[in-house]
Amino acid sequence: MIDPPVANLADPAFWEEEYLGEVPLPVRPDRSIAFERCLTNALERHAPVTNGQRVLEVGCAPAKWLVFYAERFGADVEGVEYTGRGASLSRMNLELTRVRGKIHHSDFFRIEPSRFDLVLSLGFIEHFDDIEAAFARHVEFVAPSGRLVIGVPNYRGLNRWLQRLSDVDHLAMHNARAMEPQLYYQLAARNGLQLSYADHIGGFDPIIIKLGRRRALPFVLLAGRYRRLRIADRINHPLASSYLLVVMQRT
């Protein structure tokens, strides 16, 4: 347990009002949505588990990826969620999809660690000021020979420019250091992990741009039309793709 906890750049209102908003349940990853299709494909290829292995998702609401791991691989799933609404939605989603699992309504930095075969952390670590401490906390939950999967939105290059143009306050809730692939090579080596996969996925996708001021709207709408093309899934670049995914294994 980290005491005091690392500082969170995003308050609970961000998660409960902006991120979760109106969530229709039940919900699973939707392959018709470009980003979810790309992430699903990457997880199937680079971070599968076997039947009965334990999977923990950090910041899990609304638990769609826990449903994915349970239904696709037969995993035993658990999630940690620190907002009341997020925990409630996650539990309800597991119930409606008939997935047996456990949701811990708790601060990830306060909960007693248990060991898992795979720890999944999507869109979480970039919201903290101390990336090194947040990363080390994740490792405490990884079993020997287990894997840690971290995914973060890529607010670098073109995406950073668009987000700054549209809503600079939203950008300020994200630590750009978490979006540097080289950092994970260093953190893995420092924490007894071996990096097996690190790449940008999702292509250029305006889905990650939070629209505030309307100056970015014409460009985002145009880019949205481009992103409907399936070939765009395979066109990736560190300064344009929407997501960075890293998979590491405990040695």
Say which CATH number the domain at 110 has.
3.40.50.150
pLDDT score at 227: 72
Q: Is 210 a domain residue? A: no
Instruction: Kindly tell me if the per-residue pLDDT of 229 is higher than 90.
Output: no
pLDDT band at 220 (very low <50, low <70, confident <90, very high): low
Q: Which two tokens stand for residue 226?
A: 């481009």
CB atoms closer than 10 angstroms to residue 98: 10
Domain count, the chain: 1
Q: Is 7 a domain residue? A: no
Instruction: Kindly tell me if the per-residue pLDDT of 93 is higher than 90.
Output: yes
Q: What is the pTM of this model?
A: 0.93
Q: What angle do CA 51, 29, 87 make, to 5 degrees?
A: 85
Domain that holds residue 240: 12-154+176-204+236-250
CA distances from residue 90 to 43, 74, 80, 97, 171 in whole angstroms, order as listed: 20, 18, 10, 11, 26
β-bridge pairing 243-250 and 193-201: antiparallel
Q: Is 180 a domain residue? A: yes
Give the mean model confidence (pLDDT) for residues 95-121.
97
Instruction: Kindly tell me if the per-residue pLDDT of 222 is higher than 90.
Output: no
Q: Is 58 a domain residue? A: yes
Q: How far is CA 134 from the centre of its chain?
A: 14
Instruction: Kindly tell me if the per-residue pLDDT of 106 is higher than 90.
Output: yes
Q: Is 168 a domain residue? A: no
Q: What angle do CA 162, 168, 171 make, to 5 degrees?
A: 80
